[in-house]
Amino acid sequence: MLRIGSVWGVPIYVTPSWLLVAAFITVAYADFMRDQLPDVTTRTSYLMALVYAVALAVSVLLHELGHTAVSRLVGLPVRRIVVFLLGGVSEIDGEAARPRDEFVIAASGPAASFGLAGVCWAASLLTGHDTAPSVLLLLLAWSNLVIAVFNVLPGLPLDGGRIVQSAVWAMSGSRYTGVRAAAWSGRAMAELLALGVLIANSMVADDSRVHVTTLLAAAMGFAIAAFLWLGATQSLRSATIGERAAALRLRDLLRPAVYVGPATPLSEAVRIANEAGAAGIVIIDGQGRSRAIVREADVLRLPPRQRPWSAVSEFGQALEPGLIMREDLAGTDLIDAVQSHPASEYLVIGADGVARGVMAASDLATALSRPRPRPAHM
């Protein structure tokens, strides 16, 4: 990706895939420019089409800046803005705390596009008829109108889907119910778009003069439909994982542990753990303070016959602050804590600072991937 600058401290990137769009637009709209302005040369028509392609990318960027501005106003930082093959995206850190915030963030992008369409149309009236500036401005006005209308279609990952999500969230009280409703709507939008492309292609299939740009436009339509489907599917997965994460309690993932000195042979530590029914080994110092956790994966990789000759200290991960968690951690706070300090095991302590056991990252991953049990029927 190429960084082209920043706004409000948010870096802006353009991916190489955008060059494909720019080339397609330049080729596809050169004939349109000649039709609108018969006196222009072929070279000028291609130049105008290229200017339109760049201006369209700027329009997409302004759309994303609308999202960025409002996100920052509601307290959500934006990592970066990326303009790519099928449009643009503002990578927002975190999630909206309220349905109202979700709504205003989602609506700000289409609002910017609607406003830009109006500005371009008004400016075209001041440039006279049948001039290069008027043709470009009118084309940009229509393009921004299309961008705005397309983005308010009611399905994720489009802005309209996030508006649906905020509305369902507000009515149901559940963010994830909103995500699911908007994601299924997004799948429906993808199917309708693909069907529309098929119908349009069937209408021109018997025309021997079908232009290569028509085929490229069909390919672009299918690509957008696939993008919508995949985005909606990812949103469904995220909602499922989010619900499971919200129900997580660190206490439920706690493994009992045994506490041994650093010189203890690994075989002896494993024997003590097995006899105690523990699934974790913590290394302590002479004062009984926890200093490291024995990595389970390393132990399993070592053949049993070699364990008597290896001390547990050879398999310990030193306890940095991020590897010590309080047992009352739950939900997204637990997920955030793990993501901030990735490790295979963590020491769990109580409010009194006394060790309660260990948590394995593998147990957390299993809990996130396992469906919640359904209540039994009487």
Band the pLDDT of 332: cuts 50, 70, 90.
Answer: confident
The confidence score (pLDDT) of residue 168 equals: 97
Which segment of 93-102, 155-164, 206-215, 287-296 scores lowest on mean pLDDT? 206-215
> Which of 236, 215, 347 has its CA nearest to residue 290?
347
CA distance 189 to 156: 9
Q: Write out the two tokens for 227.
A: 């993008």
pTM check: above 0.85: no
Select the more confidently predicted residue: 39 or 65: 65
The confidence score (pLDDT) of residue 210 equals: 52
The confidence score (pLDDT) of residue 376 equals: 38
User: How does 104-140 read in b/e, with b if 16+ C-beta sit within 10 Å?
Assistant: bbbbbbbbbbbebbeebbebbeeeeeeebebbbbbbb
Is residue 378 scored above 80 in pLDDT? no
Band the pLDDT of 244: cuts 50, 70, 90.
Answer: confident
Mean pLDDT of 247-275: 94
Mean pLDDT of 242-267: 92
pLDDT tens-digit readout, 9-26: 999 999 998 888 888 889
Q: Write out the two tokens for 130.
A: 């049948």
Mean pLDDT of 324-328: 94
Q: Write out the two tokens for 282.
A: 């913590």
The confidence score (pLDDT) of residue 212 equals: 61
The confidence score (pLDDT) of residue 43 equals: 92
In the sheet where 78-84 sits, what is the strand order? 2-7, 10-14, 78-84, 87-92
Mean pLDDT of 370-377: 48
